[in-house]
Structure 1
Amino acid sequence: MMREKTVLGGWSLFALWFGAAISLAEILTGSFLAPLGFMQGVWAIVIGHLIGGAILILGGIIGFNAKIGAMTSTRIAFGRYGSYLFSVLNMLQLLGWTAVMMLSGAKAADALSLSLWGIENLHVWTIVIAALILLWIALGKQGFTRLNVIAVVLLLGLTLLLCFVVFREQEIFASPSTGEMSFGAALELCVIMPLSWLPLIADYTRFAAHKTRGLIGSFLGYFLGSSLMYTIGLAMALYAKDASVVSMMNALNLGFFALGIVLLSTVTTTFLDAYSAGVTFRNLFPQFSERSIALVMTLIGLGVALLTPIEAYENFLYAIGSVFAPLFAIVLSDYFLFGNTRIDETLRLHVGYVFVWIAGIIVYYYFLTLDFIFGSTLPTMIVTLLLFVTLRKGVRTWTLKNN
């Protein structure tokens, strides 16, 4: 689909990331901030997305400068074998999230179709969503770009309608904090969402036609889209007094428009998971086409969604995802602080950096046991960065290289 000659303008990248941000997951996470009340919740959303978005764009800069995907970029610090390990882990989580997002969107669509028409068939909705994702991928660069822009315009219209319905309820603006959630805990929920895209963003910014416009488009697309979704989720929860997205939409009597939001938002978000799984696969087997592999990954994701008890699989996905916070703390530190910007083709594995990465994973799980006020992801990245800066001089020669 996207070969090296492919270029994406600032608007195309804005549309790509705005579409990625408009999802049920973002609305649901925003609803969790309701205990803060509306004004404190909005402050947490804006500050958290500024922090997370800034870190996300650092990964995008590497993709643009080096013209490589996110997992290939890990070769700069960790070497070829290290990038292979991270590619396998990333494919596992992307395949899992493809299945989880398909099934989550299908469940929401199924519940809405039941309330609208008295019809329910979870498997059919799952297949419909998978078919739309396959269409997104199969159309190729030109078709995808146009279709994604159309989808984002429609999503923007539906979202504005959602905003009109939600925000006309004036009492939500005066909602006070209940004291059941700290501002720091809310901030972590807002930071974690943009950081979850770190293993993907370079897959797309590498094709930016212009560095500044491409990076600004990517940042604004995600920042505005995700902040808006969080704020809508917050407002809907304060209005409907229910954390269920479907229940909140039913409470607002959105009907067919709610179904449109569910389907389009699921497709524009899940497409990135499926396509990046293809990009990651090419780091292992570069002879294959990204588009062909992305199509296969979508079909595998569909199979997992239809056949696997996905709720049990989500815990495994979170465990796999935890490796990427310390990983990118090292990759970004090595690139921006120490100026290591090129892949050393002789480097098979940087053993010293792997030890720091493992220490970072241990730190992550330690923060989980603490129930730390700022969560686990951002503190883990900061502690791993400090460990890396402190230990780098001593471990930088611990490498395996070609003879």
Structure 2
Amino acid sequence: MSDTTTDHGVNRPGSATHDAPLTLEQPTVGSLGLTDTLGLWGNLGISLLLPVAASYVVLADRPLSVTLLAIVVGAVIGSVLLGLAAAPGARQRVPAMVLLRGVLGRHASALPTVLNLAQCVGWATFEIVIIAEAASTALGTPRWPFVLAAGVVATGMALRPVGAMQVLARYAVWVALAAVVYLFVRVLAHPLPPLHGGGAPSFWAAVDIVIALPVSWFPLAADYTRHVRSGRAAFTGSAVGYGAATIAFFTLGVLALAAYGTEGLDVIGALVAVPFGAASVLVLVVVEVDEAFANIYSTAMSAQNLVSRADRRILAAGVGVLATLLALTFDIASYEAFLFLIGAVFVPLAGVFVVAYYLLPRDRWDVSSTAPTRPALLLAWAAGFVAYQLTLPTYFDGPGAGWTDWWTARQHDLGIDPANGWSASLVSLAVASVLAVLLAGPGALAARSRRRS
């Protein structure tokens, strides 16, 4: 099979377009090279969410080097998984949720699609809130104007996604890099005392949080890499670009906390405390709009798996308006636990997908509207999700606390220590991947052997 083009009955022959096709039935053109892909994913990895999340990877009362090692280990594991999920997008030329038809079947792929719609709207809202909060903190002004500005700009980018990706890859990433380098220089010039407060109970729990960030892009990756010329460029660009940004930004957050902001683990406040830090944070706020854009655009792409003839521009405009209104009126913090629950759904699915795509004969990867359901792989995915919850139940407070309590009781029944310190992501990935090999592997390997002979 060609590394750059394929036709499984989803994209129909037709004239090339200068941007993303409007519907699922129109052809996709690979116009992004390795440099574009590196820049795009590096820019997507430059996110204020990462230094904010750094407070949860800090290992209190342990050498700073241990926390930094956890960041590197988690980033390498997560970014390799991201690259393995991104490469098929360039080869198959279809969005991420359509790509899942090959592992789950046409009808079963609707389940992760609906979940991805929920999480993309949630994360788009969360990103707009983060942008507005950071800007208002840096300038000492009300939040709502920045909510409106971020929503309008992100939605506009989603209407011309390939053009937006090229601008992000070629220009925005360098502006963001300059701001990051400046913040690193200023933070490293300050004494770095030990951190006595932290959110990670163990080394592998810290690794787990870092893994979650790159893997969270698994259900979105192919939406962008289907515009990349080759699978090799898609893998390298996404893994290296996002992995390097993940290490840099988590590290920046940890160092800023050590240097300036241990009280309350307020990372944004710590960065603003740097001389000229407010200006640098504002630069990163502007660049952060790409995260909101990506979630708005991917919501439209996911919806096309269910309604293939829907115009992505109409879908993106509707999602952008919804996310902006939610950012103005909704307490997104109350939605955060649900977003992490959906993340726990996609971690084992990433493992099943990678095993199935690289194990099954490529000509059996069916992404058409008649793709058959694969019950064995569905079972492997479900088992991985159960393993995740038994390792570290998704935490809910208030009305949803019953979910956490039920899984904690199951841990007790099985003799699993709730404070086990394991990485739920790695346990989930291992269970799902091994089961996928055991349940689907023998037939797949036999088919590959017959083809080679």
TM-score, normalised to structure 1, is 0.88
> Aligned residue for 2:75?
49
Give how far 1:290 is off: 2.8
Separation in structure 2 between the aligned mates of residue 6 and residue 229 of structure 1, nearest angstrom: 30
Give 1:343's aligned amino acid: D
- Partner residue of 1:326? 348
1:131 aligns with 2:152: yes
Correspondence for 1:342: 365
CA deviation string 1:178-213 (max 9, x = no partner): 997432222222222111111111111221123333
**Mean Cα displacement is larger for which, 353-362 or 124-133?**
353-362
- The whole-number CA distance in structure 1 between the counterparts of 2:168 and 2:217 is 22
Determine if contact 1:24/1:265 at 8 Å carries over to the other structure: no
**1:239 pairs with 2:259:** yes
Aligned residue type for 1:234: V
Q: What is aligned with 2:429?
A: 381
Q: Does 1:166 align with 2:190?
A: no
Distance change in 2, residues 1:176/1:221 (3 Å): same
Q: Secondary structure at the match of 1:349?
A: coil
2:322 maps to 1:300: yes
1:333 counterpart letter in structure 2? V
Name 1:228's counterpart in structure 2. Answer: 248
The alpha carbon displacement at 1:6 in A equals 4.4
1:356 aligns with 2:374: no
Shift in Å, 1:301:
1.0
1:2 to 20, 27, 34: 20
Partner SS state of residue 343, structure 1:
coil
Distance 1:262 1:178, change over 3 A: closer
Say whether residues 1:68 and 2:94 are aligned partners.
Answer: yes
Letter in 1 for 2:108: G
When residues 121 and 252 of structure 1 are mapped into structure 2, their CA distance, relative to the original with a 3 A threshold, is same
Aligned with 1:13 (options 37, 60, 63): 37
Aligned residue for 1:117?
none
- Equivalent residues of 1:21, 1:222 under 8 A apart: yes
Q: Which amino acid aligns with 1:191?
A: I
Contact map agreement 1:90 1:199 (CA 8 A) in 2: yes
Alpha-carbon separation, structure 2, partners of 1:220 and 1:393: 29
Note closer, same or farther for the CA distance 1:153–1:124 as it changes in structure 2 (3 Å cut).
Answer: same
Contact kept? 1:8, 1:208, Cα under 8 Å: yes
* DSSP 3-state at the match of 1:374: coil
> Contact conserved, 1:137 with 1:144, CA < 8 A, in 2?
no
Once the two structures are TM-superposed, the CA of residue 14 in structure 1 deviates from its matched residue by 1.4
Once the two structures are superposed, the pairs formed by residues 309-324 of structure 1 within 5 Å of their partners are 309-324=331-346
Does structure 1 residue 24 correspond to structure 2 residue 48?
Answer: yes
Deviation track 1:347-384 (CA, whole Å, cap 9, x = no partner) reads 44333433332222222111114344232122101111
Determine the C-alpha separation between the residues in 2 that align with 1:336 and 1:205.
Answer: 17
Runs (5+) with no aligned partner, structure 2 = 1-18, 22-27, 393-407, 409-417, 445-453
CA 1:151 to 1:75, structure 2 compared with 1: closer, same or farther past 3 Å? same
Per-residue deviation at 1:218?
Answer: 2.0
- C-alpha separation between the residues in 2 aligned to 1:395 and 1:337? 10
Judged with a 3 Å threshold, the aligned counterparts in structure 2 of structure 1 residues 49 and 30 are, in CA distance, closer, same or farther, namely same
**How many pairs are equivalent?**
389
Paired AA for residue 390 in structure 1? L
Cα distance, 1:146–1:101 mapped onto 2, change above 3 Å: closer
Give the match for residue 106 of structure 2.
80
2:288 to 255, 266, 273: 266
Give the secondary structure class of the aligned counterpart of 1:322.
helix
Larger displacement relative to structure 2 (225-234 or 341-350): 341-350
**Partner AA of 1:17 in structure 2:** W
Higher helix share: 1
Q: CA separation in 2, counterparts of 1:83 and 1:45?
A: 32
What root-mean-square deviation, in Å, do the aligned CA atoms of Structure 1 and Structure 2 show?
2.5
2:301 maps to 279
> Would the aligned equivalents of 1:22 and 1:225 in 2 still touch at CA under 8 Å?
yes
Compare 94-103 and 143-152 and name the one that shifted more.
143-152
SS for the counterpart of 2:106 is helix
Query: 2: distance between equivalents of 1:306 and 1:60?
Result: 33
Deviations 1:137-182 (A, max 9, x none): 244533551255322111111111111111112x32x748999743
TM-score by length of 2: 0.79
Query: Using the alignment, how far apart are the partners of 1:146 and 1:91 within structure 2?
Result: 26
Query: Structure 1's 255 and 328: CA in aligned 2 closer, same or farther, altered over 3 A?
Result: closer
Which residue among 182, 196, 207 is the counterpart of 2:227? 207
Structure with more contact order per residue of length (Cα contacts < 8 Å, sep ≥ 6): 1
Instruction: Report how far residue 276 of structure 1 moved.
Output: 1.0
More divergent stretch after superposition (32-41 vs 75-84)? 32-41
| Cα distance, 1:76–1:144 mapped onto 2, change above 3 Å | closer
Kindly tell me: are residues 244 and 394 of structure 1, through their superposed partners in 2, closer, same or farther at Cα, counting changes over 3 Å? same
Match of 2:170 in 1: 149
Distance change in 2, residues 1:344/1:255 (3 Å): closer
Gap change, CA 1:395 and 1:5, over 3 Å in 2:
closer
In the alignment, what sits opposite 2:274? 252
Q: Displacement, 1:322?
A: 1.8
Partner of 2:400: none
Q: Secondary structure at the match of 2:227?
A: coil
Aligned residue type for 1:266:
E
Residue by residue, what CA displacement relative to the aligned partner does 1:240-293 show, whole Å, maximum 9, x if unpaired? 224212221232233441442342242022221111111111111121233442
Give the match for residue 133 of structure 2.
Answer: 107
Structure-2 change in CA distance of 1:338 and 1:395 (3 Å) = closer
Distance verdict in 2 for CA 1:233–1:37, change over 3 Å: farther
Question: CA separation of 1:43/1:140 partners in 2, compared to 1, >3 Å: closer, same or farther?
Answer: closer
Q: Matched residues in 2 for 1:305 and 1:377: separation? A: 29
